[in-house]
């Protein structure tokens, strides 16, 4: 089964919000990403709505024709939003309200009762569930007990270790993926995956269903498209009146 690419569009919203207005147009960008082949759209609204706003999630629901994934910490306002929008998938992430970005997976042993209760509520509404998890095979058994459909491997440690020793960096993720297979858990992955490290990761992780990529994708798009845009400006500045 081919691994799906879900594009996290938080950074589009960050850029839009920096100037006010609607440039870039988040909804148009999501539609363009789907037209270019993306098989899903991910948003991560935080309580302060500093990038994706709750209204963005509502507006996107009516436009997205692929899979829609909403991720975040399941505080009550987030839970209410997910129930309202009913995305394809909800991914639960234990990030603090003031976190710059997600930086750890769930301790499913400690938070087992809470996760079981929240996940049961989402599944009753027919929403596929996934929980953010560190590359720790021991934690997979507890994740299974939550009732989740999938886990999403937190891949920043892999990305950080890739340049130094990619074989060593991938080993905990292979072990965790194999354990997930034993428990029949679906497997997603995300955080700091990029054009530099994605192929090696995908080739070594069995049954990888989906990756969510945002920050690296937009940075690479700027870098790879920069020459074309500069050339267009020069052309327009120097064409005959």
pLDDT digits (tens, 9 = 90+) for 164-193: 999 999 999 999 999 999 999 999 999 999
**Residue 79 maps to which CATH number?**
3.20.20.70
Closest CA to 213 of 1, 10, 49: 10
What per-residue confidence (pLDDT) applies to 48?
83
pLDDT digits (tens, 9 = 90+) for 92-109: 999 766 555 556 789 999
Considering the domain boundaries, does residue 83 fall inside one?
Answer: yes
What per-residue confidence (pLDDT) applies to 240?
77
pLDDT digits (tens, 9 = 90+) for 18-31: 999 999 999 999 99
Considering the domain boundaries, does residue 77 fall inside one?
Answer: yes
- Look at the chain and report how many structural domains it folds into: 1
Closest CA to 169 of 182, 156, 151: 156
Residue 16 confidence (pLDDT) above 80: yes
What per-residue confidence (pLDDT) applies to 147?
97
Considering the domain boundaries, does residue 227 fall inside one?
Answer: no
What would the mean pLDDT of 33-50 be, rounded to a whole number? 93
Closest CA to 8 of 69, 96, 89: 69
The mean pLDDT of the chain is: 94
Rounded CA gap, 73 and 115, in Å?
11
Domain carrying residue 184: 4-216
What percentage of the chain has pLDDT greater than the value 90?
88
Q: Can you give the pTM of this predicted structure?
A: 0.93
User: How many other C-beta atoms are found inside a 10 Å radius of the C-beta of residue 182?
Assistant: 11
Does 146 sit behind a cis peptide bond, omega within 30 degrees of 0 on the bond before it? no
What per-residue confidence (pLDDT) applies to 206?
87
Catalytic residue ranges = 44, 71, 191
Q: Give the rounded distance of the alpha carbon of 70 from its chain centre.
A: 8
What per-residue confidence (pLDDT) applies to 97?
62
**Which of the residue ranges 182-191, 193-202, 213-222, 230-239 would you say has the lowest mean pLDDT?**
230-239
Considering the domain boundaries, does residue 234 fall inside one?
Answer: no
Considering the domain boundaries, does residue 236 fall inside one?
Answer: no
Considering the domain boundaries, does residue 173 fall inside one?
Answer: yes
SS3 category, 94: coil
pLDDT-derived band at 241, boundaries 50, 70, 90: low
Considering the domain boundaries, does residue 190 fall inside one?
Answer: yes
pLDDT-derived band at 198, boundaries 50, 70, 90: very high
């Amino acid at each position: 089964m081919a691994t799906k690419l879900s594009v996290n569009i938080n950074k589009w919203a960050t850029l839009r919000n920096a100037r006010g207005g609607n440039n870039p147009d988040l909804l148009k960008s999501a539609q363009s990403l789907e037209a270019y082949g993306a098989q899903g759209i991910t948003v991560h609204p935080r309580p302060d709505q500093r990038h994706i706003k709750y209204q963005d999630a509502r507006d996107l629901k009516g436009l997205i024709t692929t899979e829609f994934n909403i991720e975040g910490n399941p505080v009550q306002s987030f839970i209410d939003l997910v129930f309202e929008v009913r995305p394809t998938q909800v991914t639960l992430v234990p990030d603090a309200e003031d976190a710059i970005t997600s930086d750890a997976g769930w301790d499913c042993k400690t938070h087992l009762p809470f996760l079981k209760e929240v996940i049961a509520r989402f599944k009753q509404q027919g929403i596929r569930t996934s929980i953010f998890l560190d590359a720790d095979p021991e934690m997979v058994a507890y994740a299974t007990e939550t009732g989740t459909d999938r886990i999403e491997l937190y891949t920043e440690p892999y990305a950080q270790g890739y340049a130094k020793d990619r074989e060593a960096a991938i080993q905990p993720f292979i072990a965790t993926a194999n354990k997930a297979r034993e428990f029949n858990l679906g497997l997603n992955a995300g955080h700091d995956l990029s054009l530099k490290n994605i192929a090696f990761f995908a080739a070594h992780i069995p049954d990888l269903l989906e990756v969510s990529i945002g920050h690296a994708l937009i940075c690479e798009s700027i870098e790879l498209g920069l020459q074309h845009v500069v050339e267009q400006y020069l052309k327009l500045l120097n064409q005959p009146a």
